[in-house]
Amino acid sequence: MPRLPHLLLPLLLLGAPLAPAQVAPPPSAPTPAPDVRELSSAERTAYAKSLAEASQLIKERRYADAIAKLDALLKDRPREPQARFLRAIAEADQGRTDEAMAALSGLVADFPELPEPWNNLAVMYAQKGDYESARVALESAIRIAPRWSVAQENLGDVYARLAAAAYDNAVRGDRDNKTAGAKLATIREMFSTVTPPAR
């Protein structure tokens, strides 16, 4: 299934006020003031530059440096979606699938209107063989961005995997079912000849 380029989330949310934290600190701890101020034009430019640098570090597989840069951005603006998204990509690229999936799940809970986290979450579900959860996530992405070809292609792949499982079950239940066997062979052939896209 295709993966995403790293910088797809809109930067429009950088200027939006942040909601206060949902969990209250203990009474003895001072309450930190959330950063609810809108960024100036210069701050927005600097923030976007830092995000681009973090994306480049991920492409260079310098994950520790990328995560350190993203954590510095998230310290001041913990809800900012693009930094959270890039951090999840860095986790996924290092094989830390559970951490990446937790981060993306948090992102879709906070920003359900963004299709990119839904798509990447679906890719990870599919990699784990959970095609039903991948289908649900991709259908969410497509409701938001109906013409987005990456999500549409990924959904086609998931439907094909679900169909293969159904045909396989049909063959197991009835070895004489030649049509299910032929359809299963066609899908297996399709996946054996498709090469994954270059990153």
Contacts of 69 (CB under 8 A, 6+ apart): 50, 53, 54, 57
Q: What are phi and psi of 136, to 5 degrees?
A: -60, -45
Residue holding tokens 């948090």? 106
Q: How far is CA 8 from the centre of its chain?
A: 11
8 A C-beta contact, residue 44 and residue 11: yes
Quick one: which of 48, 44, 84 has its CA closest to 67? 84
- Say which range, 19-23, 78-82, 140-144, 164-168, has the weakest mean pLDDT: 19-23
177: its two tokens: 């079912």
Give the model's pLDDT for residue 136: 97
Average pLDDT over residues 29-49: 70
| DSSP string across the chain | -----S--S-GGGGGSPPPPPSSPPPTTSPPPPP--SPPPHHHHHHHHHHHHHHHHHHHTT-HHHHHHHHHHHHHH-TT-HHHHHHHHHHHHHTT-HHHHHHHHHHHHHH-TT-HHHHHHHHHHHHHTT-HHHHHHHHHHHHHH-TT-HHHHHHHHHHHHHHHHHHHHHHHHH-TT-HHHHHHHHHHHHHHHHPPPPP-
Residue 70 CB neighbour total at 10 angstroms: 27
Give the pLDDT confidence of 90-146 residue by residue, as tens digits.
999 999 999 999 999 999 999 999 999 999 999 999 999 999 999 999 999 999 999
Residue holding tokens 């049909």? 170
Give the pLDDT confidence of 145-179 residue by residue, as tens digits.
999 999 999 999 999 999 999 998 898 888 888 88
| Maximum Cα–Cα distance across the chain | 72
Structural domains of the chain ordered from first start: 41-111 (1.25.40), 112-199 (1.25.40.10)
Give the model's pLDDT for residue 1: 58
